[in-house]
Amino acid sequence: MKLVIQRSKEAHVKVADEITGQINSGLVVLVGITHDDTEADLDVLIQKMINLRIFPDESNKLNLSLVDTKGSILSISQFTLYADVKKGRRPNFTQAAKPEKANELYELFNEKLRQENIHVETGEFGAMMDVSLVNDGPVTITLESVAGKII
């Protein structure tokens, strides 16, 4: 499983010109799921992400986490994180999980975040989406897990 995490001051996602998710301060998270991902991958990535100290304290040092700041998450399913571009010019997406499995794990990812008392807004799985954000910092971090371990 791969996550691209962007600290944001504000963000929203639209599907067919309608806003489906919107947050103020927090994280925009692009979520990529591959064939071998399991609930263990979700668990380890969620705990790492929500506890990363990537928000500034009163001295403007990165000492606070999403949990500390009570920030929100805008979660966006992003199968293109598993693009293979080694050959040719057209990306190959065979490493992305099939839609049924990906959607199941994506929904579980969002539910587990909510169980951690994180406010979560989402796009729409499988839809063409327009994602807008004001990247705060900018701060962008990638996280990846294989077999329930951060790599």
Domain ranges (residues) in the chain: 2-150
Share of the chain above pLDDT 90, in %: 100
Mean pLDDT, the chain cut into blocks of 10 residues (151 residues total): 98 97 97 97 98 97 98 97 94 96 98 98 96 96 96 94
pLDDT at position 98:
97
Instruction: Measure the CA–CA gap between 130 and 22, rounded to whole angstroms.
Output: 12
Query: Among all residues, which ones are annotated catalytic?
Result: 78-80
> Within 13 Å and on the Cβ side, how many CA atoms surround 95?
13
- Superfamily of domain 2-150 in CATH is D-tyrosyl-tRNA(Tyr) deacylase (3.50.80.10)
Closest CA to 109 of 61, 75, 62: 75
CA 87, 91, 96, 102: dihedral to nearest 10 degrees?
A: 180
pLDDT at position 40:
97
pLDDT at position 29:
98
- The string of pLDDT tens digits covering residues 13-53 is 999 999 999 999 999 999 999 999 999 999 999 999 999 99
Q: Are 147 and 40 in contact (CB under 8 A)?
A: yes
Instruction: Measure the CA–CA gap between 108 and 64, rounded to whole angstroms.
Output: 26
Residue bearing tokens 């998270």: 29
pLDDT at position 34:
97
**How high is the mean pLDDT of the chain?**
97
Model's pTM, two decimal places?
0.95
Task: Tell which phi-psi region holds residue 97, choosing left (phi > 0), alpha (psi between -120 and 50) or beta.
Answer: beta
